Amino acid sequence: MRLSAVSVAAALVVAILAAGAGTAAAYPQFQFSTDNERCGNCHLAPMGGGLLNDYGRSEAADTISGRGDGAFLHGAWAPPGWLLLGADLRGVLGAKQLDGQDPELLAFPMQADLYAQVNAGPLRLAVTAGLRGAARERSPGPTPTQWLASREHYLMYQKDDDAPYVRLGRFYPVFGIRTQDHTAYPRRHLGFYLLEEPYALGGGVVRATWEAHASAFVGNPVPFTGAGPRASGAAAYYEKRLAGNTRALAGQARFATTDVDRRYTVGAVGKQWLPGPRLMLLGELDLQLQSFTAEGGGADARLQMVGHASVTRMMLPGWMIGAAFQRWAPDLTLRGSTRNALEVNAQAFPWAHVELHLLLRAEATGGDTFEPNLLSLLQLHYYL
């Protein structure tokens, strides 16, 4: 989609005011670096993402941005205690250049999600709904389901923060580093991309020094509300926090099957906070065995790998600057099939509810590091 300067500006305004559905997850850089040992200290979901609790809203204002009122609607109105509300709006302006092609301007809505959670004692009903984003033009005669989506809706039971929880509905099983960037390789290539949330039954325990989660899931039975492979299977994640809650090591495993393939995944996650230089280190490595059923074209199997490593300089309140290296090998026996990416991120939090995020990425496919694909995105994120 090539755009003139005027249409780019207009599209950005539209993106900010009526952004399309993207995805919102926790910012894993905030674990440990804000003196919080777990993401659930600030978020209502067990592993973060989505709605913030009162403490999380206070942290977003005082610790991360250092100014403004982080409460819902900036404190202008407070919902009743049994009802929690929120929203995420995100618009993007950027450019990309693929190998051998002219640069292309980008301006599109990324996210417009509304959140609601109703509490009835230990029982919670959480719903995320919003506009369904599209970086490309929609097909002629779009139906309402091409514009609207509910990525998450589930019932959850938990007596208190340290008690075991159980939830049932549509959500991502707990797995890996849940970065807010849905294009990160562990999300993009392992079935955690846009609108790939399955329906699941999950549970777990989250404590100060450890947490464990397990889920069984089935593919989304409603085709027009999902994207990508509709897998069924199970996932497990265990994290142990060490060194006075400045370090964490985690192991994970997942099995997923579709009509055409089966995937067996094992992986490890590492997190390290260095308070002296104020650096947050994150890493994930996953090995995946993919085998194909007869419908998928034979029984041959291939070993795959996903790697992600990042370092972020935390200059809170106000700034985060970081770099990341990612690698995706869809077949470890075929060297020319690998994809590698090097990226730089700069994030500014000028006041509560507002984030500016600049992402610069160079991505090389098949080992061609001299003529990489280039991507730059400037995101304006506003949350209620």
For residue 224, give the CATH number of its domain.
2.40.160.10
- Quick check: is 263 in a domain? yes
Taking the model in full, what pTM does it have? 0.88
- Spatial distance between the Cα atoms of 150 and 125, rounded to a whole number of angstroms: 14
- Quick check: is 103 in a domain? yes
Task: Determine the average pLDDT of the residues in 205-217.
Answer: 95
| Bridge partners, 118 (sequence order) | 83, 125
pLDDT at 289: 97
Closest CA to 17 of 138, 141, 131: 131
**pLDDT above 70 (res 15):** no
Share of the chain above pLDDT 70, in %: 87
- Quick check: is 140 in a domain? no
More confident residue, 165 or 21: 165
Q: How many domains does the chain have?
A: 1
Sole residue written with tokens 């207009």: 10
Structure confidence at residue 14 as a pLDDT band (50, 70, 90): very low
**pLDDT above 90 (res 339):** yes
**pLDDT above 50 (res 131):** yes
pLDDT at 140: 61
- Quick check: is 142 in a domain? no
- Quick check: is 48 in a domain? yes
Lowest pLDDT segment from 13-17, 52-56, 214-218: 13-17
- Spatial distance between the Cα atoms of 233 and 317, rounded to a whole number of angstroms: 41
Task: Determine the average pLDDT of the residues in 74-81.
Answer: 94
**pLDDT above 80 (res 24):** no
- Quick check: is 137 in a domain? no
**pLDDT above 60 (res 227):** yes
Lowest pLDDT segment from 57-61, 214-218, 278-282, 293-297: 293-297
* 381 neighbors 353 (Cβ within 8 angstroms): no
Lowest pLDDT segment from 21-30, 269-278, 288-297: 21-30
Structure confidence at residue 193 as a pLDDT band (50, 70, 90): confident
pLDDT at 133: 62
Is the C-alpha dihedral spanning 45, 47, 51, 54 positive or negative? positive
Domain that holds residue 123: 5-132+148-383
- Quick check: is 97 in a domain? yes
Convert the chain into a string of H (helix), E (strand) and C (coil): CCCCHHHHHHHHHHHHHCCCECCCCCCHHHCCCCCCCCHHHCECCCCCCCCECHHHHHHHHHHHHCCCCCCHHHHCCCCCCCEEEEEEEEEEEEEEECCCCCCEEEEEEEEEEEEEEEEECCEEEEEEEEEECCCCCCCCCCCHHHCEEEEEEEEEEECCCCCCEEEEEECCCCCCCCCCCCCCHHHHCCCCCCCCCCEEEEEEEECCCEEEEEEEEECCCCHHHCCCCCCEEEEEEEEEEECCCCEEEEEEEEEEECCCEEEEEEEEEEEEEECCCCEEEEEEEEEEEEEECHHHCCCCEEEEEEEEEEEEEEECCCEEEEEEEEEEECCCCCHHHCEEEEEEEEEECCCCCEEEEEEEEEEEECCCCCCCEEEEEEEEEEEC
Closest CA to 381 of 181, 92, 90, 130: 90
- Quick check: is 138 in a domain? no
Closest CA to 239 of 217, 270, 195, 262: 270
